[in-house]
Amino acid sequence: MDTVDTMQVDTAPAEPVLSNVSLEILSIISAAQREHGLRHRDYARYRGYCARRLARLYQACKMKHGKGRFVKKPLVANTIADERALLVPLVQSERAWAYAMEMKDLTNVKRRRSDLRQHMLRRLKKAVTHANELATFCERLGNDQTALEGDAYANYIGGVCAVEQGKDYVGAITKLLRAKLAYAKLGVLGDQKRLELYRERTEDLADLVRFAHYKQGRTADLKAMEKEAAIGLASNKVFTMKVEAPPEIEDKIRWHAMDFELKNRDARVLIAQAQDCLAKVDALKNATGHKAGMLFAKGIAFYDEARMKLNDDVEKETAKALYQQGDDEDKADRIKLTEIALSLIVKDKLIDRNKFVCDQLDKKLSGRAKKEKADKKLNFGDLARMYDAATVDYEDLMETAPMLLRLKPEDADKHIEEFEVDCEAEVMLLKARQNVALACHYVQVGNSKEAKAYFEIATDLATDAEGRDCAGEIQDEATELLKEIEVRVAKAQRKLQEADDSVTKSQSGSDLTSKVAEKFSKLFSFR
């Protein structure tokens, strides 16, 4: 009996070294595919990348298979001590899948299609084997989310293989539906970027399900099969927990009460990130301004990257229209209009950023905010030059905006005129603030004549902007600026008067000293 008990203890499975591992499989493979060839359907390049990465993983995880003679070292869950080892079956599966897709493309140009097809199916089966191995490791070593990721990936690869084999379409539909439900749940666990990524995979799976259903003969009950797939996933806690999905990203952008369609997924995600950054700025306007400036720069960078993606789409659609007759010939024009609208939005945000930076610097130079190290070398002359640079964005805006404003169905000329009047008033206010900065500069150097002249110019510009038939908020800004100029003029007068008084006092003191010295010289003269 004792011997039996001892044998039972010795043969019991050991506890895994790792536990609760987190692995975002879809994010990893999507980034790798995008950066290493699949953006252009270059499966050979992606397969080469997978081979090189696999070699690096073998070395990092100390899984070398011998020199000269190959000795296979299989992965065992209980002995895995490095999280990177879980990437080994993932990369192996991706390499086999990429090779299969490469063979599939070659069947269209080679005569020996049967041999290539058999080779493709063998590689797909190999990919399924590695994917199932990955799912086993994720279930045993990972958390619930990682287990769901591994299950979804294995079912996706298995469904693709079954569809390509063309034998068991019902089994293929079952696997694809299970993967679809898992990815739909995983997408709502992160931010908007993650949601868009997983939604794209879900839509691809939906297309595959429809294709398999068509090949099967449309006799299978998809709703019932989807319920069975959900029941099969019910053991996973992540799948059953209730999570609110992030708000939907609108498929359009809005500029001056005009909507422009936005179909590019990447651009939509980037714009959502930009809006999130700029939404945080308002809460930081009373701070030092450094963090707010960084958020402005980050948001504008996101907007600009989204604009570049739209520009790429314009080039693609233009090339399509040149070389082949498409179903939608006006698509390139619509994307171009969206790209122009987005560039105008970028101009608006640049103007807001410049105004904010100038306002923060003005507060620091006026003593209303604490200076930072980078601001100690700046003066009112630098602020004046910054205001001058800010007016250039308005000039670009007035040059490009009428192109879109003419698209308004009614009173296009009226909208253009109102827009130009508002821009001119804004430029006047910026120039007024520029002259205020120059006046403050001359107050600091003690030139009262120049300071008075620049204050008068600033007052005239602000008064002119206030009297224009422009937007109400611009008129309110002009009124506030006039009050601010009055306060600054009074402060400058006091400062200049104090400087004159000190000069007069010093001069009178020097006169008295000279008279005393003269008397003493006469008193002690020996002539």
What is the rounded distance in angstroms from the CA atom of residue 419 to the CA atom of residue 401? 9
At residue 354, the pLDDT reads 87
Range 294-300 average pLDDT? 86
Which residues are bridge partners to 258 per DSSP?
A: 255
DSSP H helices, 217-289, are 222-232, 237-240, 265-279
- Lowest-pLDDT range, 140-144, 227-231, 443-447? 443-447
Q: Are 257 and 406 in contact (CB under 8 A)?
A: no
**Which of 62-71, 204-213, 274-283 is predicted most confidently?**
204-213
Range 203-211 average pLDDT? 94
**Which of 276-280, 317-321, 328-332, 475-479 is predicted most confidently?**
475-479
**Helix, strand, or coil (residue 252):** strand
Range 402-430 average pLDDT? 84
What is the rounded distance in angstroms from the CA atom of residue 458 to the CA atom of residue 222? 72
At residue 227, the pLDDT reads 93
Please check the confidence at residue 510 and state whether its pLDDT lies above 70.
no
Q: Are 183 and 203 in contact (CB under 8 A)?
A: no
Task: Tell me the residue ranges of DSSP E strands in 229-331.
Answer: 252-255, 258-261
- Lowest-pLDDT range, 64-78, 301-315, 354-368, 493-507? 493-507
Count of beta carbons in the 10 Å neighbourhood of residue 257: 7
List, in order of start, the domains of the chain with CATH numbers.
18-240 (1.10.3450.40), 252-434 (no CATH)
Q: Tell me the per-residue pLDDT of 98-111, one tens digit each, with 9 for 90 and over.
A: 999 999 888 766 65
Query: Can you tell me which residue has the tokens 């805006």?
Result: 397
Please check the confidence at residue 10 and state whether its pLDDT lies above 50.
no
What is the rounded distance in angstroms from the CA atom of residue 421 to the CA atom of residue 492? 32
Range 447-472 average pLDDT? 87
Range 332-341 average pLDDT? 86
What is the rounded distance in angstroms from the CA atom of residue 197 to the CA atom of residue 265? 9
Which residues are bridge partners to 253 per DSSP?
A: 260
Q: Judge if pTM exceeds 0.75.
A: no
For 407-430, b/e burial (b = at least 16 CB within 10 A) is: eeeeeeeebbebbbebbbbbbbbb
Higher-confidence residue of 367 and 130: namely: 130
Query: Percentages helix, strand, coil for the chain, rounded to the nearest 5?
Result: 75, 0, 20
Q: Compute, in degrees rounded to 10, the torsion defined by CA atoms 151, 156, 159, 160.
A: -150
Higher-confidence residue of 337 and 514: namely: 337
At residue 524, the pLDDT reads 40
Q: Tell me the per-residue pLDDT of 222-267, one tens digit each, with 9 for 90 and over.
A: 999 999 999 999 999 889 888 776 666 778 888 887 888 888 888 8
**Which of 7-11, 88-92, 254-258, 359-363 is predicted most confidently?**
88-92
Position 174 confidence tier, pLDDT thresholds 50, 70, 90: very high
What is the rounded distance in angstroms from the CA atom of residue 261 to the CA atom of residue 247? 18
Element (H, E) at 220: none
At residue 1, the pLDDT reads 39
What is the rounded distance in angstroms from the CA atom of residue 395 to the CA atom of residue 350? 13
Position 11 confidence tier, pLDDT thresholds 50, 70, 90: very low
Please check the confidence at residue 68 and state whether its pLDDT lies above 80.
no
In one-letter notation, the amino acid at residue 521 is S
User: Per the structure block, which two tokens stand in for 432?
Assistant: 């007024």
